[in-house]
Every structure is written in C-alpha cells, then in structure tokens.
C-alpha cells in the first residue's frame, strides 16, 4: 500500500506545534555573558563598536552580574582592562589585579554565579600581544612571542584567578602546552577543583575587531597569525582540541562561532566533553549595525545565529546577546 506523502509543514503550523517538536534547543542554561572590568567607581563607559556593552568598574560589574544571575544565565566570562600595562602583562597575574578584584567581589555578592576568567596577556601587555616578546630589539616584522616564557605567566595568571575564587579559567593565548602548564600549576597550588575551558580551536579572525576596542588590546605591531589558527585550515582544529583534552581541558571551545560551524559539528561528533562556541564581538556588532540601519531584524537574526550554534552541537554559547536572548526566549 502506498503511504500518503509526508507533509513536512504539518508540524510547523502553530507556535504550539513548533515548540513541541523543537527539542531542548536554546535555553538560558547554555549561555555565558562576557564582561569587561576596569578601574574606578561608578564607571559604565560604553564601547562604541559593541553597542549596548560597557566597560564597567568593579562595583558596576557586580550589579551587572546580579542582573545576569537574576535572568538565569549561569556564568560570566571576565576580561580585565588594567590602568598600567608593561612588557609582560604583570597586572594579569598580580594578586590585586583588576580581574582578581572583580572575581572576589562577584563571588561575595552573587555567590551562585559561575565565574570564568579569561587567561591571556593581551589586555595587559604594552605591545598588545598574547605573550612575551622574544626578540624585542628586532625589526617589528621579525619579533615573535616566546611560547615557553609565556606559559609560566599564563599559569601564574590562572592561579591568581583561582585564588580569587574563579570556578573556571579559560586560556585564550593559543600557546602550545598552555592547558598542561595551567593544570599543573593549579594542582600544585591545591586548586584541583578549578576547571579549564580551553580556547582550543581559536582562529586568527577579523571578527575580534570590536573586542579589541572593548578590552583595549589592539596590537602595537604585527598580528596574531603566528599563534592563532589560519581561517583556511580545518585539519588542525581536531588536533588542537585533542591535545587540549589530553592536557586536561574540561570544556573545549571553538572561536569564532558563525564561520566555524563545521568545526563545531566535527568536534561534536568526535568528543563527548562539553563543547563551547564563542560568538565573538564582530558577529554581534555586524548584526547590531545592520539592524540599526533597518536592514535586518536584529532580534530574529541573533536568535537564528544562537539556534544555529545549538544545532551544530554547542552545549555552551558565549555571547554578547546573552541577556537579550533570555528576554526574547521568554516571549
Ligand atoms: C584574548 C581574547 C580575544 C577575544 C577573547 N579573548 C581577542 C584576541 O584574541 O585578539 C575575542 C573575543 C571577541 O571578539 O568577542 N586573547
């Protein structure tokens, strides 16, 4: 007997039917909100290139963290903007560095919120690179970032954040061996409970542009292509992720998200561990800019991107739309 042709549209007819068959999809539980902390008091200084987001002083950040928590978003990811920068980014690992103070304050006032510290030196170095420069006297095009000297400083940064109360540290410098160095240092400091979210497949992307204004981490010379991944390459991504897992990563991240959904899907098929996608600053800002001109519906576009990342296989999505998305989901 011939079956009648399946009608694909039948289950799309009403919002009730669509909700029923959607699956778990996007929920507040999968979101992480990035925040930028700077010196001062009562400071909320808007970032032009990241409309709707501000650099916040510690007191303002605590208020923001309370709001994030109140919306049911489980975690924040913190970036620090120090007043003083130097060659090796000392404020990244100073016991009273800006991020360390922010972590302590959030943990005191909003104890239920998970705090993730971004572990990198680029916001703290005078030259804006993610590590220490090996040959500072050489012509700028020949200067390189010293991998192993940087590992030690990243490890110190992770330990400083853990001592301040971070639940998770997230190394983003793309130095070889950074996860192992950090795991070793955390364990040696008696902090084996602190987890590592590894920026495992992180590409040298133009989509970080607005972030560099937000975090004040533009480079004085060169670019990051000698340590971040080449956008044209996919084969190295799984190897980067495997290495990070072996070195002790608890969560693997793909960054950026939108142009790299193939990598998210490959990782989903290959690894059982929690998988994060970082929907980066440029992905947010280009939608906001187009929406501001009335060229696209910003809300629908944002939700479409976030749903796409869930579909690709991300468990965790770091996004500047975190708060908006929860409000939009409620409606
Ligand atoms: C630090 C870091 C960057 C981002 C997250 N961590 C910038 C970079 O690598 O240049 C970018 C995040 C975003 O664009 O939203 N290394």
pLDDT digits (tens, 9 = 90+) for 155-214: 999 999 999 999 999 999 999 999 999 999 999 999 999 999 999 999 999 999 999 999
* pLDDT tens string 7-44: 888 878 888 888 777 777 899 999 999 999 999 999 99
Can you tell me the distance from the alpha carbon of 283 to that of 275, in angstroms, rounded to the nearest whole number?
19
pLDDT band at 230 (very low <50, low <70, confident <90, very high): very high
Pocket probe mutation, ligand 1, options 76, 77, 120, max atoms within 8 Å of Cβ: 120
Under DSSP, is residue 311 helix (H, G, I), strand (E, B) or coil? Answer: helix
Residue 27's pLDDT is what?
93
Distance (angstroms) between ligand 1 centre and the Cα of 55 equals: 15
Residue 47 has which token pair?
A: 């970032």
Centroid of chain to Cα 81: 16
Tell me what pLDDT residue 220 has. 87
Residue 212: count of CB within 10 angstroms of its CB = 17
Q: Which atom of ligand 1 is nearest to the CA of 79?
A: 6
Which active-site residues does the annotation give?
202, 255
The values of phi and psi at residue 130, to 5°, are -85, 5
Give the Cβ contact number of residue 329 at 10 Å: 16
CA-nearest residue, atom 10 of ligand 1: 208
Report whether residue 62 contacts ligand 1, using a CB cutoff of 6 Å: no
Separation of alpha carbons 256 and 203, rounded Å = 7
Q: What spatial distance separates the first Cα and last Cα of the chain, rounded to whole Å?
A: 45
Pairing of strands 31-38, 316-319: parallel
Among candidate residues 167, 235, 171, 218, the one with its CA nearest the CA of residue 195: 167
275 phi, psi to nearest 5 deg: -120, 125
What is the average per-residue pLDDT within 266-280? 97
CA of 187 to the centre of ligand 1 (A): 26
Q: How far is the centre of ligand 1, averaged over its atoms, from the C-alpha of 273 (Å)?
A: 23
Q: Where are the alpha helices (DSSP H) in 58-97?
A: 58-70, 90-93
- Whole-number Å distance, alpha carbon 145 to ligand 1 midpoint, is 17
Confidence of residue 2 (pLDDT cuts 50, 70, 90): low
Grade residue 152 by pLDDT with cuts at 50, 70 and 90: very high
Name the region of 40 (left: φ>0; alpha: ψ -120 to 50; beta: rest): left
Distance CA 292, CA 48 (A): 13
Of all protein residues, whose CA lies closest to atom 12 belonging to ligand 1? 280
Report the atom number in ligand 1 closest to the C-alpha of 209: 14
């Amino acid at each position: 007997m011939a079956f009648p042709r399946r009608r694909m549209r039948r289950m799309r007819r009403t919002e009730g039917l669509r909700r029923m068959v959607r699956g778990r999809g996007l929920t507040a539980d999968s979101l992480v909100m990035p925040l930028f902390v700077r010196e001062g008091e009562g400071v909320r200084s808007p970032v032009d290139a990241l409309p709707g987001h501000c650099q916040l002083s510690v007191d303002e950040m605590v208020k923001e963290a309370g709001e994030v928590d109140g919306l049911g978003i489980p975690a924040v990811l913190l970036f620090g903007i120090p007043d003083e920068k130097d060659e090796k980014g000392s404020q990244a690992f100073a016991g009273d560095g800006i991020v360390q103070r922010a972590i302590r304050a959030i943990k005191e006032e909003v104890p239920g919120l998970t705090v993730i510290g971004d572990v990198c030196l680029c916001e703290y170095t005078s030259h804006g690179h993610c590590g220490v420069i090996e040959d500072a006297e050489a012509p700028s095009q020949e200067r390189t970032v010293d991998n192993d000297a940087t590992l030690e400083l990243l490890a110190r940064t992770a330990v400083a954040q853990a001592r301040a109360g971070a639940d998770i540290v997230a190394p983003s410098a793309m130095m070889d061996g950074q996860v192992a160095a950090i795991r070793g240092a955390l364990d040696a400091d008696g902090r084996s409970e602190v987890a590592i979210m590894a920026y495992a497949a992180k590409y040298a992307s133009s989509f970080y542009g607005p972030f560099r204004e937000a975090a004040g981490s533009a480079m004085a010379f060169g670019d990051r292509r000698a340590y971040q991944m080449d956008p044209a390459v996919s084969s190295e991504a799984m190897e980067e992720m495997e290495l990070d897992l072996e070195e002790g990563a608890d969560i693997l991240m793909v960054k950026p998200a939108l142009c790299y959904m193939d990598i998210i899907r490959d990782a989903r098929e290959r690894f059982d561990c929690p998988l994060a996608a970082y929907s980066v600053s440029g992905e947010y800002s280009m939608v906001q800019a187009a929406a501001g001109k009335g060229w696209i519906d910003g809300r629908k576009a944002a939700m479409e991107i976030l749903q796409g990342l869930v579909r690709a296989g991300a468990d965790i999505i770091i996004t500047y739309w975190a708060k908006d998305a929860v409000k939009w989901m409620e409606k």
